[in-house]
Amino acid sequence: MGEAELQQLIAGCLQQSRKDQKMLYKAFYGFAMSICLRYAGNRYEAAEIMNQGFLKVFTNLHKYDTGRPFIAWVGRIMMNTSVDYYRSNLKLSLNDDLDAAEDIGHDELPDQKLNYDDLLSMIQQLPNAYRTVFNLFAIEGFSHEEIATQLGISTGTSKSNLFKAREKLKIMVLNSGRLPDNGSEDIRHKIIAIGAISVGISHLIELIMR
């Protein structure tokens, strides 16, 4: 999208033109979604956050400083909206496996290429508190101090959440390489379980029939 075209769209949105709003929404949909998905637990939540973000974009458009890149402004709003969305969750989420964050003894990551969907699903599996800190630190590049002030938590919590997030992600990345193995193991377990259940049920039916 050219700069002139964008300025025209923004002007249209300022006039509350629904058509221009949709054009702008469409133009930044992918970009906004890619940010929100990283912070959200799933696509539905991501869409909800994104729409709330766009609402802020539309209602605060007059505040946008035209001297700066528009996309960065939108990205910032999306990030803030995401953080706000989970802010109430950051402290209160029933985080499980608090003790599981021990060193797992693997220092080297396999040199494998993971695609976007795999990485996204891994990051979405993290608890909200871990995911938010990991996003802000590892991907957005904020310091722990900045994260602490932004989230209203202590730097210690930020560090510990980042550590736990990394531990969990590391396990997931390492396990992703062994997936086929696990799969066959899983199937074997399933077959055994189904067999046992069917034997049990047949015995039960026999008992009942008597």
Partner 1 sequence: MKGKNENKLDQLFKDGLSGSEDHFAFREEDWASMERLLDNKPSKKAVIRRIIYYSAAIAALLLLAVGLFFFNRSDKAKNELAVKPKTKTGAPAPVRKDIDQNGQSIKDKDSVRNINPGTENLAKNDINSNKDKTGSTLGITPGKHNQQNNIPVDQNPVNPNVPGNKTTKDSADKNKTVPPVDNNNNNNNAVDPSKIASKTDKTQNNLADNTTNTKQPDTAGSVTTPVQQTKKDKPSLKPILRTGPRFTLAILAAPDLNAVNSFNRNQVGTNFGVQLGIHLSKKFSISTGASYAVKPYQASGSQYNSIAWQGKSSTDLPNYITANCKVLDIPLNLNYQFYAKGKNKFAVGSGLSSYIMLRENYHFEFADGSGKPSYDIQVDGRNQHWLGVLNLNATYERRINSKFSTIIQPYMKLPITGIGVGRVDLRSTGVAVGVSWNINSALRPK
Q: Which residue ranges make up the site for partner 1 (CB under 8 A)?
A: 18, 21-22, 25-26, 29-31, 33-34, 37-38, 47-48, 50-52, 54-55, 58, 91-95, 98, 107-109, 114-116, 119-120, 123, 134, 137-139, 153-154, 157, 166, 169-170, 173
Taking the CA atoms of 3, 4, 7 and 12 in sequence, report the sign of the dihedral they define.
Answer: negative
Name the minimum Å distance from CB 180 to partner 1: 21
Q: Under a CB-based contact definition with an 8 Å cutoff, are residues 173 and 118 in contact? A: no
Start-end of H helices in 93-178: 116-125, 128-134, 144-151, 155-177
Nearest approach in angstroms of CB 91 to partner 1 is: 5
C-alpha–C-alpha distance, residues 84 and 88, integer Å? 8
What letter would DSSP give residue 143? -
Residue (58 or 73) nearer to partner 1, CB: 58
- CB 67 → partner 1: shortest distance, Å? 23
Name the residue nearer to partner 1 (CB basis): 116 or 197.
116
